[in-house]
Structure 1
Amino acid sequence: MNHRSSPYTEDLRLAHMIADSVDAQTMASFQSMDFTVETKPDLTPVTDADRRAEETIRGQLGRTRGRDAIYGEEFGSSGSGPRRWVIDPIDGTKNFVRGVPVWATLIALVDHGEPVVGVVSAPALNRRWWAAKGGGAYTGKSLAAATQLGVSKVATLKDASFSYSSLAGWREIGRIHNFLELTDTVWRTRAYGDFWSYCMVAEGSVDLAAEPELALHDMAALVPLVTEAGGLFTSLDGEPGCAGTNALATNGLLHEAALGALAADNPTPWMEEGRAGSTVRPVAGEPAESVESAESAEIGDS
């Protein structure tokens, strides 16, 4: 299909070309399971496949966009200027090392602080999503074979499908009670996790997604994807874009209600405050279960 015109069309094409080459590289490692795993200082895993992928992306950007700055998860920042490429070579490394196909390469362009191009390529799922400012959001196998994305029209939390990554982070930021109350309010919850939650918000198959702890490289490619599909992407405190350290993405219709539900100053009356392992309000006729027991339902986090 024909894409809407965007001043960033050539940057989007470049991001696709880079994703094509990196996909071949990461899939070879994933299928052979031929990589080494180390633990970074923040206790998250990193593989030599992550590092090779980022080196490939940096090399291609250096040859084609030499004046642009680059920030990547594995090698930090280089260069300076108003245009900065933001890279997460493998989002979902924990899945990658365990043979779970839910991982992706995230490539974004941030111009004067605004994410304007985002490509999310998940070769093990045989899926790719992308967007450029003013040009719409799409999914497909290529720019020429694409379907335009649009968020859902669900207007109330009680009818909404909510995706998240894990419970531990909500406890760490002191909003576990708010999170659990929201899961009790919505129609359906699933821990699809990582990039996939936000891609499904853009597709309209999920109505809201939220995570308590994220970095710039986790979010930059997802912001234009959600917003160009008609949704909203903010921090949990309502700050637009990816300037914060957490995220809430919705179809827009649910955003104010979701922000209110997850607000730090919105105490939940039915939970005992200040203690991990507090008892969740039981459904009538069913025994109460601990917060920890709910974690067994998670699909996983990176």
Structure 2
Amino acid sequence: MSEATHRAAVAERAARAGGVVAREAFRTELTIETKQSPTDVVSNADRDAQQQVLATIAQEFPAATVICEEDVSTVGAGEVEVAEVVPETGPAWVVDPIDGTANFVREIGFWATSVAAVVDGEPVAGATSMPSMTDIYTAGPESVSRNDEPMTVSEQTNPDAFAVGTTGRWSTSDPDTPAEIVRAVTEHFGDARRFGCIQGLLALVAAGGMEAAIMPDPPNAWDSLAGVHLVRRAGGRATTLSGERFSDGDDALIVSNDTRHEAVLDAAQQALS
């Protein structure tokens, strides 16, 4: 087994393991705290799932470098080394134990446990587990799949048939931006949708269920890298608002099936200009 294949297998195993922990806590009594806003929440399930993900990675890669959404000091890092940003050189793991926690605590089943394996700043494998949907999306050096079946992005070319996801936090201090994004999408495409789980939305684009997605705020690595890798491996495209190749949270994230990527960019630029 090659090193890249090994990392892909561990990413999938870790995402599955963290997802199992989160699924066991789903729709049970939770301890919920807020972070930066009343809708930016974290639960005990996030921390427990993160601990399981880290333990699974450490079994195969002791002293691995990890970048996590939740504060590792509250759960213990175990045998891993915690970094604040994705390193430019060397291997690392990027972990989101529950992406879509706001959905999770409201007992809405669209949430994900996501793990990316990164080498020299670029994802080489990604896994997004969506236990409530009974789906696992994976991408490694040899395959990209949903539930072990090969997947590709949508082949749709007609913008009037496009379903475009919008994502990012609503803000009472800036109500115009999300409104303008929805306006631009509905003017240019057939359908606009908002799911409340970035990694889940990226997985849907990779699997062909959605044609594109617009994320106006620069995403954190744990919100984006696994899903971006899924989209690219499935034949799609992920860029910044200016059309440059997206890397690690340096700008807005625009993804598509790559049949009308410029049109998606135009809509996003119209909304965000």
TM-score scaled by length of structure 1: 0.76
> In the alignment, what sits opposite 1:37?
32
CA–CA distance in structure 2, aligned partners of residues 167 and 87 of structure 1: 20
> In the alignment, what sits opposite 2:146?
139
Q: Compare 60-69 and 254-263 and name the one that shifted more.
A: 60-69
> In the alignment, what sits opposite 1:188?
191
CA–CA distance in structure 2, aligned partners of residues 6 and 153 of structure 1: 32
Q: What is the DSSP-based 3-state SS (H/G/I as helix, E as strand, rest coil) of the residue aligned with 1:130?
A: strand
Find out whether 1:202 has 2:206 as its counterpart: yes
CA–CA distance in structure 2, aligned partners of residues 21 and 45 of structure 1: 22
TM-score scaled by length of structure 2: 0.84
> In the alignment, what sits opposite 2:102?
94
The structure-2 alpha-carbon separation of the partners of 1:167 and 1:27, relative to structure 1 and needing over 3 Å to count, comes to closer
| Residue identity in the other structure for 2:228 | V
CA–CA distance in structure 1, aligned partners of residues 226 and 271 of structure 2: 30
CA-atom RMSD in angstroms:
2.6
Stretches of structure 2 lacking an aligned partner (at least 5 in a row): 73-80
Q: What is the DSSP-based 3-state SS (H/G/I as helix, E as strand, rest coil) of the residue aligned with 1:150?
A: coil
Find out whether 1:211 has 2:215 as its counterpart: yes
| Conservation of the 8 A alpha-carbon contact between 1:175 and 1:264 | no
Q: Compare 169-178 and 119-128 and name the one that shifted more.
A: 169-178
Displacement after TM superposition at 1:27 (Å): 1.2
| Residue identity in the other structure for 2:30 | F
| Residue identity in the other structure for 1:212 | P
Displacement after TM superposition at 1:104 (Å): 0.8
Displacement after TM superposition at 1:248 (Å): 1.2
Q: Compare 214-223 and 176-185 and name the one that shifted more.
A: 176-185
Match of 1:59 among 6, 30, 55: 55
Q: What is the DSSP-based 3-state SS (H/G/I as helix, E as strand, rest coil) of the residue aligned with 2:139?
A: strand
| Residue identity in the other structure for 2:191 | R
CA–CA distance in structure 1, aligned partners of residues 105 and 186 of structure 2: 29
Q: Deviations over 1:274-298 (max 9, x none)?
A: xxxxxxxxxxxxxxxxxxxxxxxxx
Higher Cα radius of gyration:
1
> In the alignment, what sits opposite 1:122?
130
Q: Deviations over 1:76-117 (max 9, x none)?
A: 671565111000000010111111111110100111111111
Aligned residues between the structures: 256
> In the alignment, what sits opposite 1:228?
233
Stretches of structure 1 lacking an aligned partner (at least 5 in a row): 141-145, 268-302
Q: Percent identity?
A: 27
Q: What is the DSSP-based 3-state SS (H/G/I as helix, E as strand, rest coil) of the residue aligned with 1:168?
A: coil
> In the alignment, what sits opposite 2:16?
20
Displacement after TM superposition at 1:264 (Å): 6.0
> In the alignment, what sits opposite 2:242?
237
Displacement after TM superposition at 1:237 (Å): 2.7
